[in-house]
Chains A and B, each alone.
Chain A
Amino acid sequence: MPSDQVKELSEERTIERINLQLRVQHLALMVSVTLLILTGLALLYQDSVFGRFLIALEGGFETRGIIHRIAAGFLIATVLYHFLYILFSRVGHEEFMQLLPRVQDFKDYGATLLYDLGLRAERPQLDRYSYREKFQYWSFGLFVVIMIVSGFILWFHDWFFGLLPKWAFDVAIAVHSGTGTLILILLTLWHLYLVHLSPGRFPIDWSFWDGKISLKHLQQEHPLEYKRLKEKGLL
C-alpha cells in the first residue's frame, strides 16, 4: 500500500530543495513586493480610512511615494539579476527550463480537479515544478513586467510627455492599479494558500527561509522529483 510507505517517510525537513540563490532572490522579491503593495494600496485607497491609515504608517503622502520608488528600484534590480541568473548560471538555466509550460501541466491540473472531486482514484504524479508553481511563476512574471513598464511611464512621466499621448498615461494608471490588484490576489489566494495557509503547512512553512523539505512532503507533493532523486541516490 502506498499510504503505508508515506507514513514511513520522515516528516523532518532535511532535504534542501531550494538553493541559496533562489532563496535570496525570493527574499528580495518578498520584501520589495510587500513594500510596493503596501505603498500602492495606500494610494489606491487614499480616500478611505484604510488608505489614510497606510499613508500615515508610511510617513505621509510624499514619503509613501519615495518608499514605493525605492522598492520599485529594488524589484527591478532583482528581476534583472534573475534574468542574468537564468541566462548565465547553469543551475539557474536548468531551473528555468523545468519551469517552461508543458501540455502535461494542463493534464495534471485537470487530473487534480478530478481527483479532488473523487472522479479519479489516483493522485496525479507531479514533478518539481507543477502547474501550481508554473502558474505562479509565469503569471507573476508577466504581471511584474506589466507593472515595471506602466510604473516607469508614471515614474518618468515628465520624460515620457514628449513621447506618449495623454491617454497613454491614463491607461498606464488603470493598468498599474489593475495589475497591482491582480498581483495582490495572486499572492494571497494562490501563493500564500499553497505555501503557507493550506492544511499541513499552516501557519507557516519555513522552507522559504532554509529551502528544506521533508521526505514525506517531497514524496507527496513532488512524487516525480522524489523518484528521480531516489534513483540518482541523492536522498
Chain B
Amino acid sequence: MRKIIALWVASVVLLSWLGYGQRDPNARCLLECHANPNLKREVAPGQFKSLYVDYDQFKASVHKDKLCIECHTDVTVIPHQRRPDQIHCLQCHYRGNVVGAPVSERPERYKESVHGKAVERGDPNAPDCKHCHTVHAVRAHTDPRSPVYRANIPKTCGSCHIEIYTEYLESVHGQALQKGVLEAAVCSDCHQEHDLFPPDDPRSSLHPQSVANTCARCHADVKIMERRGVPIKQVEAFKKSFHGIAIEFGVLKSANCISCHEYHKILSSRDPRSPIHPLNLAQTCGQCHPNASSNVARGRFHIIPSDPDAGIVFWVYEFYRWLIIVMTSFFILYIALDLYGRWRHAGRSSHG
C-alpha cells in the first residue's frame, strides 16, 4: 500500500514537474507540424512556401502570450482539415477593439493608402502588414530588433524601394541616421506609415500644401534643430514668402520645400551635389524661372524681414517702420493742431 501511495505521489510530482498545467497550449501546433523547418507547401509546380514557425522568435514577439488560434480563428481542430484563411491584423487592431490591441497610427487607414489600394487591385508586390511588421516575430516599434524601429525603417521600406533607399542613404537625413542620430527623418516621418497617400491626394502629408507642415514637424522644433545646429526659421520664412502664400491660396505650381531641396536625396547647401549649393541655384530656380542666372545666389534665403538676420532687407523694413510711425504721428499731430486752431478761432469770432 505504501508503495502504491509513494508511486502515486511520485507520479503527481513528476507530472507537475513536467509542467502539465503550464504546458504551452500552442505546443500541439508546433509539435505536430510547424516546428519542423522543412514543413512546406507547394504553391505552384516546383515552388514551395515554408510553413515553419520560428517559435523562439514568436516567444520574443509582442504576441508571445497569444494562442495560434487567436489569430487563426478558423482552425477548430488540430490538425486542421483545410488550409486556414489568410488572417488580417485588423481582426484585432482597429479603433475600439476590446482585446487591448494597440492602435497607434490608424492602421485601418492603411486600406485607403497606396499600398492598401495596390493590394486590393491584386498587385502581387504590394505590401501588407506582414511585409513591414513581419509575420510571427512582430516586435514593438521601440524594440531595436523590430523592422519598424526608427533606425530600421529605411531598410524595411528599402527592401522594395531599393533605388530610393540608396538615394536616401546619401542624404543628410540618411547620413545622420547611419551615424546613430535617431531623430533624423526616416521614411515614415514624411510619408506617414499607414495613411500613405500619393502626393496629388489632398490627404497626403506630401501634398504641395502640406509639404511645409510636414517638414515643420522637425524643422520648426526648436529642441531638435538646436541639437543638430540647423536653422529654425526656414519654414516660417517660407510661409511668409511669395511661394508660401501662393501655395496656401491654392496655387499649387508655386514652389514648396521639395521643389528646391529635392526629397529623398536632400543635401546640405555646402555639398556641391546639392540643388541649393550656390553654384547650382541658377539651375534650380531655372526650373520655374527660365531667366534665373548666378544672380539668384546673391542674397539670403528664407528671410523674415523683421529679423536682423535678413540683412539689408531688415534695415529697409526698419526704415519703413520708423517712417510710418513718424509720418502717422506727424499727421495726427497736424490734425489735432488744426482742430484746436479752428476751435480757438471759432470761439474768438463768436465772441467778437
Residues of A that sit less than 8 Å from B by CB? 3, 43, 46, 55, 60-62, 112-113, 115-118, 157-171, 173-175, 177-179, 181-182, 185-186, 189-190, 193, 198-199
Chain B neighbourhood of A115, CB < 8 A: 341
Chain B neighbourhood of A162, CB < 8 A: 291-293, 295
Report the minimum CB–CB distance from A34 to chain B (whole Å): 19
B83 within 8 A of A: no
Q: Is the interface of B mostly helix, strand, loop or mixed?
A: helix
Contact between B298 and A165 (Cβ–Cβ < 8 Å)? yes
Report the minimum CB–CB distance from B246 to chain A (whole Å): 7
Minimum-distance CB pairs A-B, first 3: A116-B341, A178-B320, A166-B299
Chain A neighbourhood of B106, CB < 8 A: none
Contacting residues of chain B (303-329) with chain A, CB-CB under 8 angstroms: 303, 305, 310-313, 316-317, 319-321, 323-324, 327-328
Cα distance A165–B352 in the bound complex, in angstroms: 67
Cα distance A23–B106 in the bound complex, in angstroms: 67
Residues of B that sit less than 8 Å from A by CB? 242, 245-246, 248-251, 285, 289-293, 295-301, 303, 305, 310-313, 316-317, 319-321, 323-324, 327-328, 331-332, 334-335, 337-342, 344, 349, 352
Question: Could you list 7 A-B pairs, sorted by A, with CB under 8 Å?
Answer: A115-B341, A162-B292, A170-B305, A174-B313, A177-B320, A178-B324, A182-B327
Report the minimum CB–CB distance from A106 to chain B (whole Å): 14
Which single member of B285, B291, B299, B332 contacts A167 (CB below 8 Å)? B299
Which single member of A112, A167, A171, A186 contacts B298 (CB below 8 Å)? A167
Contact between B249 and A170 (Cβ–Cβ < 8 Å)? no
Cα distance A164–B296 in the bound complex, in angstroms: 8
Question: A46-B249, A189-B328 known; 18 other A-B pairs, CB under 8 Å?
Answer: A46-B248, A62-B249, A158-B289, A161-B296, A162-B293, A163-B295, A166-B297, A166-B298, A167-B312, A170-B299, A170-B303, A170-B312, A173-B242, A178-B317, A178-B319, A178-B320, A198-B338, A198-B339
Q: Which residue of A lies closest to B320 (CB)?
A: A178
Which single member of B300, B320, B324 contacts A174 (CB below 8 Å)? B320
Q: Which residue of A lies closest to B319 (CB)?
A: A178
Contact between A199 and B339 (Cβ–Cβ < 8 Å)? yes
Report the minimum CB–CB distance from B316 to chain A (whole Å): 4
Contact between B313 and A167 (Cβ–Cβ < 8 Å)? yes
Cα distance A7–B18 in the bound complex, in angstroms: 125
**Known interface pairs A61-B250, A62-B251, A199-B342; A164-B295 also in contact (CB < 8 Å):** yes
Q: Is the interface of A mostly helix, strand, loop or mixed?
A: helix
Chain B CB count within 10 A is highest, among A43, A170, A171, A199, for A170
Cα distance A16–B337 in the bound complex, in angstroms: 30
Contact between A178 and B312 (Cβ–Cβ < 8 Å)? no
Contact between B310 and A170 (Cβ–Cβ < 8 Å)? yes
Contact between B341 and A61 (Cβ–Cβ < 8 Å)? no
Report the minimum CB–CB distance from A144 to chain B (whole Å): 16
Which single member of A61, A165, A190, A198 contacts B249 (CB below 8 Å)? A61
Chain B neighbourhood of A157, CB < 8 A: 289
Report the minimum CB–CB distance from A57 to chain B (whole Å): 14
Q: Which residue of A lies closest to B242 (CB)?
A: A173
Cα distance A119–B226 in the bound complex, in angstroms: 62
Report the minimum CB–CB distance from A51 to chain B (whole Å): 10
Contact between B245 and A43 (Cβ–Cβ < 8 Å)? yes
**Known interface pairs A167-B313, A182-B324; A189-B331 also in contact (CB < 8 Å):** yes
Chain A neighbourhood of B290, CB < 8 A: 158
Contact between A3 and B338 (Cβ–Cβ < 8 Å)? no
Q: Which residue of B lies closest to A46 (CB)?
A: B245
Chain A neighbourhood of B311, CB < 8 A: 167
Cα distance A201–B340 in the bound complex, in angstroms: 16
Chain A neighbourhood of B317, CB < 8 A: 174, 178
Which single member of A158, A163, A181, A198 contacts B320 (CB below 8 Å)? A181
Q: Which residue of B lies closest to A62 (CB)?
A: B251
Contact between B291 and A165 (Cβ–Cβ < 8 Å)? no
Cα distance A183–B249 in the bound complex, in angstroms: 27
Contact between A61 and B295 (Cβ–Cβ < 8 Å)? no
Chain A neighbourhood of B298, CB < 8 A: 165-167
Chain A neighbourhood of B327, CB < 8 A: 182, 185-186
Cα distance A171–B303 in the bound complex, in angstroms: 11
Chain A neighbourhood of B324, CB < 8 A: 178, 181-182, 185
Report the minimum CB–CB distance from A69 to chain B (whole Å): 15
Report the minimum CB–CB distance from B260 to chain A (whole Å): 13
Cα distance A179–B317 in the bound complex, in angstroms: 10
Cα distance A56–B319 in the bound complex, in angstroms: 32
Cα distance A157–B292 in the bound complex, in angstroms: 10
Cα distance A78–B331 in the bound complex, in angstroms: 27
Contact between A185 and B250 (Cβ–Cβ < 8 Å)? no
Chain A neighbourhood of B249, CB < 8 A: 46, 55, 60-62
Chain A neighbourhood of B292, CB < 8 A: 161-162
Chain A neighbourhood of B337, CB < 8 A: 113, 116-117
